[in-house]
Structure 1
Amino acid sequence: MMDDDYEKFEGVISRDEFERKVNEKIKEFQGLLTREGAISILASELGVTLSQPKDVSITISDINEGMTNIDIVGKIARISEVKQFVRRTTGTTGKILSLELADETGTIRVALWDDDADAASTLNAGDTVEVVGAYAKKGLNNSLELSLSRKGTVKRSDAEVDVPVKGPEHVEIASLAENMYNVTLVGVVAGVSDVREYERSGRSFKVCSLFLRDNTGQVRVSLWNKHAERTRSLSMGDVVRFVGCHTKMGLNGVEVQTNSYTQFETNPDIDGLSLPTIDADVQLSELSTDNQFFSVRGVVTQVYEPRSFFRDDGTEVMVGSLEIEDGTGSCKVTLWEEKAEILSTLAPGTSLCLEGCRAREGLDGLEISIGRSGRVTPSIPDEVDQDVPAEGLARVVEAKDGALKVASAHGRFTILTDVEFEAGTLVRYAGAVDGTQVSASSVTRSDEHYPSLDELTSPPRHAIDAVDAGRLVSIAGLVRAATKVREDCILLRVDDGTGTITGYCSDGVDEGREYAFIGRTIDNGVGVEFVSQDLQPIDAEREAYRLLEEFGEYD
């Protein structure tokens, strides 16, 4: 700014007070503000003019550090979301939004705070805007940027700015080096880890790693919080583009770090893009040690208890294994560290999707290994997401308040109609489906052959080792494991003493408690699973009396 930062403040505040207030500003913004930026804000608050008494309308290439009262028109090339942070000195919440402004001479970052950030949140890339009353300072990564003075504004403009807004050129993975900033990276997902959650200084964070590959190499990318959450919907083979990330040196070479300002695009439309093919859904019969970072689908045939051992450095490591088959062959799968924890939720017959796999020779032949860079997720059957049929047959359970509560082979649902029928009546309906409701266009009595109401609401109780696919059954057993695999889907492992079975439900259940399930059994190609339509906790005393009655030992 100038040789003596205090010179313009002399006679307004003391030098000690000046230094104290500057340091307070820097702390208040958690290191997001440089000393020059803090001095500019303090000058604005105290009415001190640092330079340039009149507003100056200039181009981006004319901007130099220390300039104030800048007016400039440009087109938004990129814009971030509004980010919240807590000021350390006051404990109050602040907001920041950044945008990249472009004109015919170059680009510059504009940082907007609090109310200015909220006001700019309606802007989009490609908008032409006028920035009024800004000052220039060194910001992130020591790059020149603009911030608004107290009376500064950013607003849309009708001015013509002849700058095409296009995606920045991406860097090839082989060209990445330590301490590169504002990097654009494009690649195909070769592996993605589970999202991990942890706390630090009383705040919760989420983190995930994915492995990105292009025609020149492969790199690890770390994603945080909202970006980490988005990886839950990623699959191997998806193309992603990151705009505005940076590099650092990791344990195994250069790694890429994202932040809240990074743009994260999935399967973008990029002309002329050429990327390698990832081995997705490899058949077990075709597996070889050449397969690295591949995905495979299979059904669990055997689950082994995990075990722990200690590395040479004294750290404890958990490892477990299971066996799968896919109709073409079978293979042992070794799960490392936190991946082994999923074993407690699995039963023979569970369908799995394994991503980020590596094939290697084990003691008993070829096997699959999955570590932190991989992901193990149950394959949710299509039946879980099947909507109520828009037309079909159902038995009336109850008629009340302009609606029919009905039961069918697809489960229980509601038909909205003014027509009333007695309980047990078989009806044929048609209408528009909304979740578990059908707004009926027609409802008529039917004499067709169909299971009775008792068979639909109280199907026969089956032992797990005796169930077969394609039936509506009642299963009672102890829930050994309940794992949320999707917001509306819980994976169950149920044990009734005769065997275990994998099931799926949407309602909350407690591990270690017994339930009676009504559901439809399905064939996953190797074994039988069930999709719950209704469940009730079992009262132990009542269940004991039921068994006594069933076997004629209670009068």
Structure 2
Amino acid sequence: SKIEIEPEDERTEDLPPLSETKVKISDLDLDLDFVDIIGKITAITTPRKFKRSNGSEGKVATLRLVDETGQIRVSLWGEIAEKTNELERGESIRLENASVREGRGNAPELHLNTRSRIVRNIPHTEAKDLPKVEQKLLKIEEIEPDMPVLDIAAKVRRTFPINEFSRDDGSKGRVMNVILADETGTIRASFWDDMVETGQKLSRGDLVLLENARSSMGLRDQPEIRVGKRVNVKINPEDVEIEEMKPRRVKMSELEEGLDSLEAVGRIIDVTKSREFERSDGTKGEVASLTLGDESGTAKVVLWGSKTETLDEVESGDTIRIKDAYSTAGRYGEAEIHLGKEAKVEINPEIVEDLPSLDEIEKKFSKKGRIKIADAEEGSQVKIRGTIVRVFQRRPFFNICPQCGRSLGSVESEELCEKCGEVVKPDHKLVVNTIVDDGTANIRVVAFGKLAEKLLGKTTQEVFEKISEEGELADFYEKIDLAGQKITVTGNVKRDEYFEQLELRARELDFPGAKDEAERILEKIKDRNVVST
């Protein structure tokens, strides 16, 4: 036999790189590429499937590991995600060839793939210094979808009415939703069937301890807690304390849907008059809006009920501070700030930061000329022209509340609007995802509502009926035949954190013809002539 050192063989490129070192959790650094690490499992999720941007299917699961120096989140991708079905909380394991990446809050986290390995039954000498895993109360930010067992203590922020529904087998069920909060965020907890009676005992401000609960994927792909008959619920236990939730301060460019207890400071750009509307139960409501801006961008602010009276005290150019508001998707998919009865508004408060003037904000964020996709930047408002090179074949509509426009919840409670606190007959809202290319780069373009109707050339109801008739989404999109169409889009550039790419939320959309392009070129020539003279 022969041993050859550093052979010239193309198969060597497929060998996994050696990990740089065996480290403790506190030693993890983003400058490290691959590491070996020993830890004890404190939390675990079952594998879940997801769709990649190219249409293929992926699989992911997560762990939380601790050692004597700290804790860390571990993501398992592909087939190795199935290993979580064999692992147990409290088990000591060694991870080999784990890659170090930037995670939430810019902190390091570990990722495992086909080149990584999980070693169980490690020698006692390697695990002897690991801490004992006792009952650990998770923070809300630590909860992942599909955790089979979790314990959490949080305060009740909002409760909602009971919703009754019919299951596929014809049996009746009940669910009651509660919004819980701690210092790290908020989460929805759903009390099911007999546990509804327990949920009814909760009031705003109560401290609740949930033991042996589980999590699932909920609204907007966010985790939610499921409270069934196996869960032990303690209300205001004397031996448990948690910190109060702190408002999350956001800039306009950082705004995204699904935020709760947010705080924002900005200058009022314009104000719309309040209008009256009728709820599904026949009662009247009032709503108004304004546009708020800062140095990073602009956003729509929607005021409900008595909060509309604030408009009597403000005008364009005033500064306001908003606290305890929430965000949701607007008509064109852009995030909006909404002010309910719990929100607070300060008019012309003393602020440390310097806000740009009204003129500066309007000049910076008014409509600009068309740009190349390659020049698009996160947080900017842009206009692009390109060719649709791909249409994502997904269900092109979702359910919204007909009164406030908020997205509704999971299948079992899809008619319960959490904002309005009542059962409603949902409306359908269209959403179409495409990839647009202009030769310099491509970008994902998302069109909602009327713009999605314009893109598809059909009303929401027509789309709903067509898909119901066709049965297959592929048949529907094939007949629409959008690929190859020239398109002009104006909108806001956001970053999709899940796919780590920019996307353009459309606010205006057109199919330009030769005449439109000729007029644009003439205008450009005129502008140059004006500058030269």
TM-score surpassing 0.5?
Answer: no
Name the larger-Rg structure. 1
| TM-score of the aligned structures, taking structure 1 as reference length | 0.31
| TM-score of the aligned structures, taking structure 2 as reference length | 0.32
